[in-house]
Amino acid sequence: MFPSPHRPLRVASRWALAGFSAVTVTFTLAYGAVPAAVASTVSHVRVHRSIQPRPRHGQPKPIGGPLINHGGPVQSAPRVFVDFWDWTSDPSGEHAYLDRFLSSLGGTPWLATVNQYGGGSSENLLAGTWSDPSPIPATPTDAQIQAEAKAAAIHFGTGNSANVQIVVATPTGHSTSGFGTQYCAYHGVVASDPDVTYTDLPYMTDAGSACGEDSVNGANGKLDGVSIVEGHELAEAITDPLLNAWYDAGGNEIGDKCAWFDLANIATVAGTFPVQPLWSNAANGCVLSSGGGTAPYQVAFEANTTSLWTEGTDGRGPWNLGMMAGTNPSVARLDDGGEEVAFQANTGSLWTVGADGHGPWNLGMMAGTSPSIAALAGGGYEVAFQANTGDLWTVGTAGNRNWGLGMMKGTSPAITGLTNGSYEVAFQANTSSLWTVGSDNHGAWNLGMNTTSSPAIAALAGGGYEVAFEANTTSLWTVGSAGNRNWSLGMMKGTSPAITGLTNGSYEVAFQANTTSLWTVGSDSHGAWNLGMMNTSSPAITSLSNGGYEVAFEANTTSLWTVGNAGNRNWSLGMYKGTSPSITS
């Protein structure tokens, strides 16, 4: 009886192929040891977790601790190509099953879990298949699998794209050594073409129960392991394609942390398929679904009673904490679950409430200003605000700091958590010039802002950030990593835009136009929503975990509205006139 597969190894090695130059290869094994055909050529092995057999009774437990961003790229728009290498027979019907699974998985709440790490999960995931008639060795080595992946990339004409995945599906009886006893599948990088991630996907039913057969659907589940194992590899290749992006302190990727735990069927447009859960930093655990609800976000705002309200997925209602009249709260979804809200209390002190606890920071804020809060990639949050001295302050998990930089009196800073784990703050200086400070510490942009308006800043999925602000000309501007641009769109004087980084790597901006209508512009460029906003208030925007975005704003009726990809909704909750909400996914 085959031992059950379990934990990953990461391997780097060099070897040459006939017709190919020597290459360096790095890969991760889903769920097992290094195949013997590979181990014999390994020049350096880096083991992140020890190999453990699957428990004989019960199921493995999830591996705790957050996934950590190590700075490498993710697949924000993944394109999967399957190479069925020399399939002269298919006794279990795996070819058609795999086609249905991959062609219907995009856009599902299950795959949407990758979005929180900057990965993409849109529809049309399966970009092509190929039945390569070239003869396959009886036991192909990993080097031969790589060569076949390279040949498939050439066949499909994928070009140089970090979003490409080549799945080399080997036929029955032709698996790399160690299949079923040491591993079920693994993904890696064709180092001679480092933009191509490949997966060695053996004929799963050859391994029987060792690789998932009948594990969910009993006697009807012969093909269960096909979708369980390929789903595992797909999610890992999206979030850690070059093995230098998202994995935890022990080297475990998004699938490894939940391997063989709580297996279940999920629904797609092509039917149901068994999968394993994926690790969610947002939920601090293994989940089978992310986003996709009627309100996959949380909104914070000041009610007419001047009490803080949060409404949405967590639906907590009033916090019964007095806010400074006319100010605005800020809310951030924490990586370890729940949300945290920052606001100015009636005492003028900064307060934070939420999953990480309640309490005043005992730091005086400039009367009438608002704080900004951002979740940090490594956990916790950081708050930016204007102190009574007019100086910019940041306080929170990353530490308290007076930046010693004067702000335009009465304006508010914006803060975003960067993908490298730190943060960046944007604000209007006393000179009315836009400034950004933080880990990147760029200083003055030498761009004039409209007096009394405030900028917005968002981290981009691919790294860096983008700032949106109202220029002295009242035109909307965006500046930062994605480039500087005058959108040539008039804003309501004295209002501020909002910006969010989308999971596809770009961004979307929401603002109040001179017509008092809500506008969104950016990669999706939707234009006017034809919804009236309260004069001089500002909208908020957030990227949703299942793709797209949602905007929150105060309507002319002073009711809270949210509009966007999750649907339009009047929350029928009165807002304090002239204030603005905050929204987070």
CA 130-133-138 angle, 5° bins: 115
Predicted confidence band of residue 113 (pLDDT cuts 50, 70, 90): confident
Give the distance between the most distant pair of CA atoms in the chain.
77
Order of strands across the sheet that contains 349-354: 330-333, 339-344, 349-354, 359-364
In this predicted model, what pLDDT tens digit does every residue of 282-336 receive, in sequence order?
677 888 876 433 346 788 888 887 788 887 766 667 777 888 888 899 998 877 6
Instruction: Name the nearest CA neighbour of 119 among 259, 205, 246, 291.
Output: 246
Q: pLDDT at residue 346 above 70?
A: yes
Q: What is the C-alpha to C-alpha distance for residues 502 and 118, in angstroms, rounded to an integer?
A: 8
pLDDT at 52: 34
pLDDT at 168: 98
Contact 430, 452 (CB under 8 A): no
Q: What is the C-alpha to C-alpha distance for residues 481 and 503, in angstroms, rounded to an integer?
A: 16
Region of poorest pLDDT, from 192-196, 433-437, 463-467: 192-196
Q: What is the C-alpha to C-alpha distance for residues 344 and 350, in angstroms, rounded to an integer?
A: 5
Q: pLDDT at residue 65 above 80?
A: yes
pLDDT at 6: 30
DSSP H/E element including 183: none
Q: For a pLDDT cut of 70, what percent of the chain falls above it?
A: 86
pLDDT at 323: 86
pLDDT at 21: 30
Predicted confidence band of residue 10 (pLDDT cuts 50, 70, 90): very low
Q: Which carries the bigger pLDDT value, residue 12 or residue 563? A: 563
Q: pLDDT at residue 51 above 50?
A: no
DSSP per residue, 92-110: T-HHHHHHHHHHHHTT-TT
Predicted confidence band of residue 545 (pLDDT cuts 50, 70, 90): low
In this predicted model, what pLDDT tens digit does every residue of 15-37 receive, in sequence order?
222 222 333 334 444 444 444 44
- Contacts of residue 65, Cβ cutoff 8 Å, sequence gap at least 6: 248, 249, 250
Residue 210: CB atoms within 10 A of its CB come to: 21
Region of poorest pLDDT, from 86-100, 270-284, 309-323: 309-323
Q: What is the C-alpha to C-alpha distance for residues 140 and 125, in angstroms, rounded to an integer?
A: 27
Contact 285, 559 (CB under 8 A): no
Order of strands across the sheet that contains 569-574: 540-543, 549-554, 559-564, 569-574
Residue 90 carries which side chain, given as an amino acid letter? D
In this predicted model, what pLDDT tens digit does every residue of 354-385 receive, in sequence order?
878 778 898 889 888 899 999 888 788 999 99
- φ and ψ at residue 567, rounded to 5 degrees: 110, 155
Instruction: Name the nearest CA neighbour of 180 among 202, 199, 158.
Output: 202
pLDDT at 77: 86
Q: What is the C-alpha to C-alpha distance for residues 230 and 209, in angstroms, rounded to an integer?
A: 15
Gyration radius (Cα) of the chain, Å: 26
Q: Which carries the bigger pLDDT value, residue 346 or residue 442? A: 346
Give the three-state DSSP class for 534: coil
Intra-chain end-to-end CA distance of the chain, in Å: 46
Q: What is the C-alpha to C-alpha distance for residues 296 and 125, in angstroms, rounded to an integer?
A: 23
Q: pLDDT at residue 11 above 50?
A: no
In this predicted model, what pLDDT tens digit does every residue of 472-486 receive, in sequence order?
888 899 999 888 999
Q: pLDDT at residue 460 above 60?
A: yes
Residue 295 carries which side chain, given as an amino acid letter? A
- Contacts of residue 12, Cβ cutoff 8 Å, sequence gap at least 6: 24, 25, 26, 43, 44, 45, 46
Region of poorest pLDDT, from 243-247, 327-331, 406-410, 439-443: 439-443
pLDDT at 19: 29
In this predicted model, what pLDDT tens digit does every residue of 157-208 receive, in sequence order?
997 778 899 999 999 999 999 999 889 999 999 877 777 899 999 999 999 9
Q: pLDDT at residue 38 above 50?
A: no
Q: pLDDT at residue 501 above 70?
A: yes
Q: Where are the beta strands (DSSP E) in 147-290?
A: 164-169, 185-189, 196-201, 246-247, 264-268, 271-275, 278-280, 285-287
User: Angle of helix 224-239 relative to helix 94-105, nearest 10 degrees?
Assistant: 40
- φ and ψ at residue 145, rounded to 5 degrees: -65, -45
Q: Which carries the bigger pLDDT value, residue 94 or residue 270? A: 94
Contact 485, 475 (CB under 8 A): no
Q: pLDDT at residue 116 above 50?
A: yes
pLDDT at 42: 28
Q: pLDDT at residue 54 above 60?
A: no
pTM: 0.55
Mean pLDDT within 516-541 = 82
Give the three-state DSSP class for 516: coil
Q: Which carries the bigger pLDDT value, residue 577 or residue 179? A: 179
Instruction: Name the nearest CA neighbour of 146 among 23, 240, 43.
Output: 23
For 189, what's the count of Cα atoms within 13 Å in the CB-facing half-sphere? 26
**DSSP state at residue 64:** -
Residue 186 carries which side chain, given as an amino acid letter? Y
Mean pLDDT within 77-87 = 96
Give the three-state DSSP class for 212: coil
Q: What is the C-alpha to C-alpha distance for residues 78 and 234, in angstroms, rounded to an integer?
A: 9
pLDDT at 427: 92
Q: pLDDT at residue 280 above 90?
A: no
Mean per-residue pLDDT of the chain: 82
Token pair recorded at residue 223? 């093909």
pLDDT at 53: 27
